[in-house]
A and B are shown apart, each in its own frame.
Chain A
Amino acid sequence: MADYETHAHDVLVVGAGGAGLRAAIEAAKSGARVGLVCKSLLGKAHTVMAEGGVAAALSNVDDRDSWRVHFADTMRGGQYLNNWRMAELHAKEAPDRVRELEAWGAVFDRTPDGRILQRNFGGHKYPRLAHVGDRTGLEMIRTLQDYAVQMGIDVHMECTVVDLIRDGERIAGAFAYDRDRGRFKVFESRAIVLATGGIGRAYSVTSNSWEYTGDGHSLAYRAGAALQDMEFVQFHPTGMVWPPSVKGILVTEGVRGEGGILVNREGRRFMFDDIPENYRSQTADNEEEGWRYVQGDKSARRPPELLTRDHIARAIMREVREGRGSPHGGVFLDISWISSKMRNAPDHIKKKLPSMYHQFKQLADIDITAEPMEVGPTTHYVMGGVRVDGDSQMSTLPGLFAAGEAAAGLHGANRLGGNSLSDLLVFGMRAGEYAAKYAAETSPARIPPDEVDAAAKVALEPFGRATNGSSAEGPYQVQDTLQDMMQDLVGIVRRQEEMQRALDGIAALRLRAAAVSVTGNREYNPGWHTALDLENLLIVSEAVTRSALERQESRGAQFREDYPDKDPAYANFNITVTRGRKGEMIVSRVPIPPMRDDLKQIVEENK
C-alpha cells in the first residue's frame, strides 16, 4: 500500500494565483474548511507577471464607460463565441471586485481627484484598466495572499496535484506529492476548484512560467470533464526577442496604452495599413488622432496599436515575413518617440512603466526612454479550458469547478488585455462561493484506497525504469521536442497537413514520455517533476491540435492559412473535447445558446 498523509477539506482549491486565492477566500468566508494547494511558494504564481491592469468599468476616467460597453467590447473581442452569460456577469461584477481589493489594502494609481486611475488597453473602447504602474498583478496577488493568510486558510505550498480521485460519478479528492520531500498527500474533498492557469509551456516561445503545463485542463479531462475552445491560444504580440535568453518574456500592452507605436525596419508605422472592418469606426485613421486618444481626448479614436492582440500579432508576422522586420526577427516598439510630444517624457515613461524600464535596462541593456524595443509574438494565454456553467463555474463533472485561465467561456476566440485579472476576481469568487455551497449540500465522499495505490505506482515509475546507458532519455528532451513541434506546427499560422504531422508527433512523444527515466531521489527533484508534467502537456497539445483541425476557418486567435477567412458556418458553436471509453479524444461541436434579447441590443448599440 502506498505511503501517504491525508488532509480533509470541504473545498480544495488547486492553484494559488489570483483565481485560486479569490476562490479560497470566498469559500472560507462561507465557513467551509478550505485547503489551498500550489506548486510554487505562495505569492509566486503567474499572476505576479500580469502588468497592465484589471479591466473594470468604474467610469472614473471616462464617464461614457459602463458595464454595457465592457460587455460589448468583450463579445466583439471574442468574436461572439464567448459564453455571453459569463461576459455579462464579468462586466457587471468587475468594478465591485476591484473596489473590494482596495478595501483589502491594494494601492492603485489615482486620478487627480483621488479615485482609482484607469488606462487605455487594446480592444477596450474607453480607458478601463485599474492599475499600479505596470505591476498590477503583483499588487493583486499580494493583497489576496495577505488577506487569505490573515483568514487562516490552510496552504499546502510546493505541492503538485497529479490526479483527481473519483468515487463513482462524483469528485472525492485529489492525489498529490510535496515537491520538497517527494512525499505523497491525499486530499479528501467534496468539491474541488481548479485554478491552475494555462498551458503556455507546451510552446517554446512563451511568456509563461514553468508552472503552466496545463495541469488543471488535463486533470479535468482525465477525470471526465469536457474542455472547450482549446484551439484558441493567444499569442501576445509583444514579447522580448532579444537577447536570446529572454525571448518570450512579456512587454506589457501598457506600453502601447501609454502611446507606444509599432514600426518596421523602414521606420513605417505599419498598423495603419490594415484596420479590420469591425473596428474601423472606432480606430483613428491618422497619427495625430491616435496621440490625442492616448492623451485622454474624448473626441479622438484609439490608435491602431490598440487593436486586439490577434490582429496585431498577425500584422507583426506579416512585416517580418515580408522582410521588413527588425534585426532579431521582430519589429520595433517605440515609446521614446513621445519625447517629441511632451516635456519630461523620460520621467513620465519611468513612472508609468517602471518594470519595463527596469526589465529592458537589466536584461537587454536598452534604455526604453531613449531607444525602441524589439518585440515579437509570444505564447501568452489560452482562451480554452474546462467547460463550466456561467453562473456557478461548475464543470460537466459534479463537484468539480474551474476558474481563471483554467476555465473556458468568458473570452471566446480572443481575450482582451486586462480582462484576465478581472476574470480571476469575478469567477474566482463565484467558483469559491458555489463550491462551498456544493460541499455543504453533499455528503462526504469516500476515497477508494486502490485508486491511491494505482496513482502512487504510476507517479514513481520514472525512477524504476532501466537506464540502458546512452539510450536512456531524460524528461527535458521530450519536453523540448514537444515545445519546438507545437511552436512550428500548431503555432500562430496553422495548416491542415502540419497539424496532422503534429498529431503523429504527439503519439510518438507519448511513447517516449512513457519511457523517460529520472535520476536521484524524490526530494526536490525537477527531473522527476518534469517527467510527471509530460502527460499533461501531451494532453493539452493534442486538445489544441484536434480542436484547431476541427475549426476550418480563421477567427480570433486562430489563423488557418488554408482557411484564411471567417466562415459564418463556424459562428454558432464551441468545440469541445472529452475522453472516450478507450482513452481516445472525442471532438464535438456544441451549439451556443441564443443570446438574450437585452444583451443582443447592447451589442447592436455598441457596434
Chain B
Amino acid sequence: MTATARVAGVGAGAGAASHDVVKSGQRAAARSDQSAGGEAKRATFHVWRGDGAGGEFKSYETSVSEGMVVLDAIHQIQAESANDLAVRWNCKAGKCGSCSAEVNGMPKLMCMTRLNDLDLDEPVTVEPMHAFPVVRDLVTDVSWNFEVKKRIRKFTPRAPDAPDGTWRMAQSDVDRVQEFRKCVECFLCQDVCHVLRDHQKHDEFIGPRFLVHVAALEMHPLDTENRVDELRTAHGIGYCNITKCCTRVCPENITITDNAIIPLKERVVDQHYDPLRGLVRLFRRGK
C-alpha cells in the first residue's frame, strides 16, 4: 500500500495546498504536516479472526496518525495484510450503525472510537459482538433483530385532523419520540443486555432496541394502537431489571432505560397490576 497519496480534494491540480491531504475511508495512514512529531507511530491490534466454528485473536501492527478511529485501523489492516478480513461498515460517521464491535471489551461503533482515546502502548483488542452468532471475523448474524421487528404491531394513525388529510402536532409532543427515532439500529444495546448476552433469552425478550421501538410507537402523538399486553407477554419486558447498561453504550445517547423502558413498564403495571383497575375489571367481569 502506498502510504501517502497526493490527493487534491480541495483545489484539484491547483498545487496550492501546502500539505499532504489524505483520503477518507479505506486509507488514512498518511500524515499531515500539521501533526506533531516526525515518525509515524505504530500500534498493535488483536483482531478476532474466525467463523461460527471458532477462531482466535490475530495480531496486526499498523501505523496510526492523528484523528484515526478504530475502523480506519481495521481498513488499513485489511488493505495491507488481510484482504479478506470481514467487517461491516457504511457511513463512517455514526449514522448507519453498521460497524458495531467490541473494542477492548466495550461495545462500540468502530467509526466513532478514536484511537487517541485508547491506550496504544497496549494492544487494542477488536472482536465481534457477543450476543449474536459470528458469521466471520468481526461480522455477526444480526438477522434475529429483523425478525423481532416483524412481531411488533405496526403504526396505526388516528384520522387526519384537517380536511386536507394532514395532522397537527406540537413540537413538544414530537420531541419525545424523536429521541427514540434517533436509533441507528447498531444493536449495541442488544449486545450488552445481560438478558440476551448472558442468558440468551432471545425467544422471550425483544431487548432494549425494540423496547425503544415500541416506546416510539406507543408515545407517537398519532398512534392509536395498544401494545401493552404484548409488552408483558410476548415481548418479555419483565426480564429487564434496569441495569442501564444499554443506556451507557448507546452511541446516539438515547436515554433508553429512563425515557423508554421505565415508562413502558409503568404502563404495564398500570394496565395489569393496578389494584384499583383490578377491582374495576373484576366488577365488570361479574356483571
**Which A residues contact B (CB, under 8 angstroms)?**
40-46, 48-49, 99, 102-105, 107-110, 113-117, 132-133, 135, 137-139, 142, 146-147, 149-150, 157, 180, 204-206, 209-211, 239-250, 316-317, 320-323, 325, 327-330, 355, 358-359, 362-364, 376-378, 474-477, 479-480, 483-484, 487-488, 491-493, 495, 498, 518-521, 523-528
Contacts and interface: CB of A to CB of B under 8 A. Distances in A.
Interface string B132-168: 0001110101110010011000110100000001111
Given A110-B169, A114-B167, A138-B182, 8 more contacts: A105-B220, A205-B23, A248-B24, A317-B10, A362-B94, A480-B27, A524-B86, A528-B84
B37 to A, nearest CB: 15
B26 A480 contact: yes
Contact of B34 (A41, A205, A327, A495): A327
A475 B34 CA distance: 31
A329 B10 contact: yes
A248 B19 contact: no
B67 interface: yes
Nearest to B155: A105
B23 A316 contact: no
Contact of B170 (A110, A242, A363, A364): A110
B84 A320 contact: no
Contacts of A476: 1, 26, 78-79, 83
Contacts of A359: 93-94
Contacts of A492: 12
Given A355-B95, A363-B114, A476-B83, A41 B88 contact: yes
Interface stretch (B171-179, B233-241, B256-264, B272-280): B171-179
B48 to A, nearest CB: 13
Contacts of A484: 5-7, 23
Interface in B69-87: 69, 72, 78-79, 83-87
B243 to A, nearest CB: 25
A149 B16 contact: no
B9 A378 contact: yes
B78 A205 contact: no
A245 B65 CA distance: 9
Contacts of B65: 244-245
Contact of A110 (B7, B10, B171): B171
9 contacts: A40-B90, A49-B93, A244-B68, A246-B24, A249-B24, A358-B94, A491-B8, A524-B136, A526-B85
A245 B28 contact: yes
B91 interface: yes
A292 B81 CA distance: 55
Contacts of B220: 105, 107
A475 B95 CA distance: 27
B220 to A, nearest CB: 7
Contact of A329 (B9, B98, B141): B9
Contacts of A477: 1
A249 B181 contact: no
Main secondary structure of the interface of B (DSSP, over half): loop
B60 interface: no
Contacts of B26: 476, 479-480
Interface string B34-65: 10000000000000000100000000000001
Interface of B: 1-2, 5-14, 16-19, 21-28, 30-32, 34, 51, 65-69, 72, 78-79, 83-98, 112, 114, 135-137, 139, 141-143, 146, 149-150, 154-155, 157, 165-171, 174, 177-178, 181-182, 184-185, 217, 220, 222-223
Contact of B90 (A44, A142, A327, A363): A44
A487 B7 contact: yes
A40 B88 contact: yes
B135 A524 contact: yes
B19 A524 contact: no
B69 A180 contact: no
Nearest to A331: B10
9 smallest beta-carbon distances between A and B, as pairs: A243-B67, A520-B84, A114-B168, A527-B83, A205-B9, A376-B10, A491-B12, A248-B24, A105-B155
A519 B84 contact: yes
Given A205-B24, A523-B136, A527-B83, A245 B72 contact: yes
B96 A48 contact: yes
A376 B11 CA distance: 9
B131 to A, nearest CB: 16
Contact of B14 (A99, A244, A320): A320
A318 to B, nearest CB: 9
Contact of B10 (A157, A325, A364, A474): A325
A520 B51 CA distance: 12
Contacts of B95: 48-49, 135, 137-138, 355
B21 A209 contact: no
A142 B185 CA distance: 10
B11 A524 contact: no
A247 B21 contact: yes
A114 B167 CA distance: 8
Contacts of A518: 83-84
Contacts of B12: 317, 487-488, 491-493
Given A49-B91, A245-B24, A328 B136 contact: no
A262 B9 CA distance: 18
B67 A364 contact: yes
A363 B69 contact: yes
A241 B168 contact: no
A377 B22 CA distance: 14
Contacts of A495: 13
B106 to A, nearest CB: 15
Contacts of B25: 206, 210, 248
Nearest to A317: B11
A400 B254 CA distance: 42
Contact of B112 (A42, A325, A362): A362
A601 to B, nearest CB: 27
A498 B92 CA distance: 31
A325 B19 contact: no
B171 A526 contact: no
Contacts of B96: 40, 44, 48-49, 209
Nearest to B252: A358
B13 to A, nearest CB: 6
A151 B257 CA distance: 30
Given A49-B96, A518-B83, A523-B51, A488 B13 contact: yes
| Max chain B Cβ within 10 angstroms of own Cβ: one of A150, A204, A498, A525 | A204
Given A105-B157, A149-B150, A488-B12, A204 B136 contact: no
Nearest to B178: A107
A16 to B, nearest CB: 12
Given A48-B91, A49-B93, A524-B135, A322 B16 contact: yes
Contacts of B157: 103, 105
A320 B23 contact: no
Contacts of B88: 40-41
A250 B25 CA distance: 13
A521 to B, nearest CB: 8
A41 B98 contact: yes
B135 A241 contact: no
A99 B85 CA distance: 44
Contacts of B168: 113-115
A241 B137 contact: no
Nearest to B116: A365
Contacts of A376: 9-10
Contacts of A211: 90
Contacts of A103: 157, 165
Contacts of B94: 358-359, 362
Contacts of A108: 174
Contacts of B170: 110, 114
A526 B84 contact: yes
Contacts of B84: 518-521, 525-528
